Amino acid sequence: MGEKGYDVLKLVEQGERCYVSTDYIRGTQMARLLRREPDLEKAQLFRWMKDLLEQLERFHRCRGNPCYQYVNPYSAIISGEDGLCLLDISSDDQHEILRQMRRRPVREHFLSPENQYYQRAEPAEDIYGIGRTLQYMLTMARPEPPLTVGEERKLKKIISKCLDKGSKRGFSNVQEISDQFSRVYKKSGTEKKNSNRRKKKGKRRWLPLFLAALSAAGIGWAAFYACSDRSPQETEVKQGKAFESEEGKNGDRGAEFAFELAMLYFLELRDYERSGMYFAIASGEQKTAKEYEDLSDYLKKGSISGDADPETLLRRMEEHIPDTEDARYYFCLLRGYEQMDMRESAEDIIRIGEHCLALDGWKTWNGSEEREKELRLLLADAYGQEGEWQRAADCCTEAVRQDLPAEEKEQIFQKTALLYEKMGNMEKAVEICGQGIRETGRSAPLWLLLIRLQCKTPSVDREDCAQTVREGLKQLPELAQEEEFRKLQEEYGIRIEGEQIWVGE
């Protein structure tokens, strides 16, 4: 199962009070477990739901009536012996998981809109997190036997009341949720039986249930993939196999699934050959799918079959967008315009990109720092082509705020500083370099750019330039061996004698 060690909360009841301490167990985050092993007994799924509610209800009864704040599938640890336990978020060993839970995709899906930075510690926020977590469990799991229509209806009602903050019909405490859930749990009759039942039948039936669950949960496909922490590669393998069954190919639902799978290949994997193949399958029932097939062909080959040109195709696709609030369709167009000459496509990229950012659907679909970065940098290039340097720099500033690898941040900081240099704002360019060095660590390109910018600016005191060189060489001694550094030495008269450094005369 790939279990790891976790510090979890140990909650002990004594009368009306509950006392909390820390325990150490071997287990797996529920998000990862459901991603890897979605097939499970219905009884097990219900027990995890029951454990989650019991753990939070006890925690709320501890001294001071604390709130947990991080209620989501990443803080729920599943252990074979202990069932579901809550992560001890105060433990020093949980830094990486806390970082994971503070990423925007997780925050946007498991925190209420008013609490996007964990700033509110109140029961209503924990209840909201319960609703989202139950919603996630229903969507990800493939229980055997499947949930009955009555069970689904009752669980969705519980979820709806959890998410309905501030209204009279919502829950006021976790005990109320437990009481309502216990009625579903008892009536389900989910004793541990039928454990030898073959799961093949369940796998044959999972597709329509999964689609229905996604629709009921109100989670867009691509956003859900980002939130679930499942790689697109893992997802497409499972879904491709499901589609290839006879049940998946038949009727409108088969065309709908083929279109969604094509979108996944197109947007997440950039596999335009396979996206074109699945768009072609969907085109039998969905006329607009043919246009997306042509776009996939264009991005794969650099040309379009027949007499159509890319610009005509893209404008026709924009006219035929079936859901103008779904940001995915606009993002497809941006991929097409990006392939064209930027001198011809910059205006369209700016128009569609800014429209995309303004959509409510962008927040729903955009569960990925990578996607936010892609759009912001594309807009930066388009604004740069139009000579709007400040807007280009602003886009880079937004892009670098995403949770990205240090190497990517380094490149964006470098690009931003160069844009401010073009505007003649050397002070801001230097500031951006300094910020980039602090955030990315040992960055030779940013140190070299910082040294060049300061040495190039006559108003910067030469001793300040020398001090920057000293600091750069102290952090990165190998900087002295860089060809670019040697060019700077020659151009600006940088002399090094032992520990003494001079710049200019």
Find out whether 492 and 499 touch, Cβ atoms under 8 Å. Answer: no
Could you tell me which residues come within 8 angstroms of residue 267 by beta carbon, excluding any fewer than 6 positions away? 222, 328, 331, 332, 335
CA atoms within 13 A on the CB side of 18: 17
Neighbours of 287 (CB within 10 A): 10
User: What is the mean predicted confidence (pLDDT) over 422-434?
Assistant: 95
> If you average pLDDT over each of 8-22, 174-188, 266-280, which comes out highest?
266-280
Candidates 243, 30, 40; CA nearest to 141 is 40
Average pLDDT, the chain: 82
In sequence order, the β-bridge partners of residue 28 are 78
CA dihedral of 369, 371, 375, 378, whole degrees rounded to 10: 100
Structure tokens at 37: 């092993």
Output Rg (C-alpha) for the chain, integer angstroms.
27
Structure tokens at 393: 């720099």
Could you tell me which residues come within 8 angstroms of residue 360 by beta carbon, excluding any fewer than 6 positions away? 325
Q: Determine the straight-line distance between the first and last CA of the chain, rounded to whole angstroms.
A: 66
pLDDT at residue 219 tops 90? no
In sequence order, the β-bridge partners of residue 9 are 22
Percent of the chain as helix, strand, coil, to the nearest 5: 65, 10, 25
Candidates 203, 158, 191; CA nearest to 53 is 158
pLDDT at residue 147 tops 80? yes
CA dist 9 and 89 (Å) reads 9
Q: What pLDDT score was predicted for residue 288?
A: 87
Residue linked to tokens 């946007």:
108
Candidates 403, 396, 406, 337; CA nearest to 370 is 403
pLDDT at residue 220 tops 60? no
CA dist 503 and 377 (Å) reads 35
Could you tell me which residues come within 8 angstroms of residue 393 by beta carbon, excluding any fewer than 6 positions away? 380, 416, 419, 420, 423
Structure-model confidence comparison of residues 405 and 151, the more confident one: 151
Q: What pLDDT score was predicted for residue 100?
A: 82
Find out whether 49 and 181 touch, Cβ atoms under 8 Å. Answer: yes
pLDDT band at residue 347 under the 50/70/90 scheme:
very high
Structure tokens at 355: 């429209």
Structure tokens at 244: 């290839």
The CA-CA-CA angle for residues 366, 368, 370, to 5°, reads: 120
CA dist 178 and 163 (Å) reads 15
Structure-model confidence comparison of residues 396 and 193, the more confident one: 396
- Amino acid type, 276: G
Phi/psi-derived region of residue 504, left when phi > 0, alpha when psi is between -120 and 50, beta in every other case: left
Candidates 338, 285, 284; CA nearest to 314 is 338
CA dist 159 and 205 (Å) reads 24
Helix 342-358 to helix 310-319 angle (10° resolution) is: 20
Could you tell me which residues come within 8 angstroms of residue 252 by beta carbon, excluding any fewer than 6 positions away? 285
pLDDT digit string, tens, across residues 80-98: 766 899 999 888 787 778 8
pLDDT band at residue 189 under the 50/70/90 scheme:
low
Which of 259-263, 361-365, 400-404 shows the lowest per-residue confidence on average (mean pLDDT)?
Answer: 361-365
For the four alpha carbons of 411, 377, 357 and 313, in that order, the dihedral sign comes to: negative
Find out whether 449 and 472 touch, Cβ atoms under 8 Å. Answer: no
